[in-house]
Amino acid sequence: MINFHILTLFPEMVMQGLHTSILGRAAERGDISIEAVNIRDYTTNKHGRVDDYTYGGGAGMLMQAQPVYDAYRAVIDHVSQNENKNKSARVIYLTPQGKTFCQEMAQDLAKEEELIFLCGHYEGIDERVLEEIVTDEVSIGDYVLTGGELPAMVMVDAIARLVPGVLHNDESAQTESFGNGLLEYPQYSRPEIWHDKQVPQVLLSGDHAKVDAWRLEQSLLRTRERRPDLYEKYREKHPETT
What is the pLDDT at residue 172?
58
What is the pLDDT at residue 168?
76
> Which of 228, 199, 234 has the alpha carbon at shortest distance from 216?
234
> Which of 123, 116, 135 has the alpha carbon at shortest distance from 39?
116
Give the other-Cβ count within 10 Å of 152's Cβ: 29
15, 16, 57, 85, 185 from 23: Cα distances, Å? 11, 11, 42, 28, 25
Angle made by CA atoms 43, 150, 226, in degrees to the nearest 5: 155
What is the pLDDT at residue 170?
60
What is the pLDDT at residue 102?
95
Share of the chain above pLDDT 90, in %: 87
The torsion region of residue 164 among left (phi > 0), alpha (psi -120 to 50) and beta comes to: beta
Q: What is the pTM of this model?
A: 0.88
What is the pLDDT at residue 174?
56
Give the other-Cβ count within 10 Å of 95's Cβ: 20
What is the pLDDT at residue 158?
98
In order of their start, the domains of the chain are 2-160 (3.40.1280.10), 176-237 (1.10.1270.20)
What is the pLDDT at residue 156?
98
What is the pLDDT at residue 59?
83
User: What residues of the chain score a pLDDT lower than 50?
Assistant: none
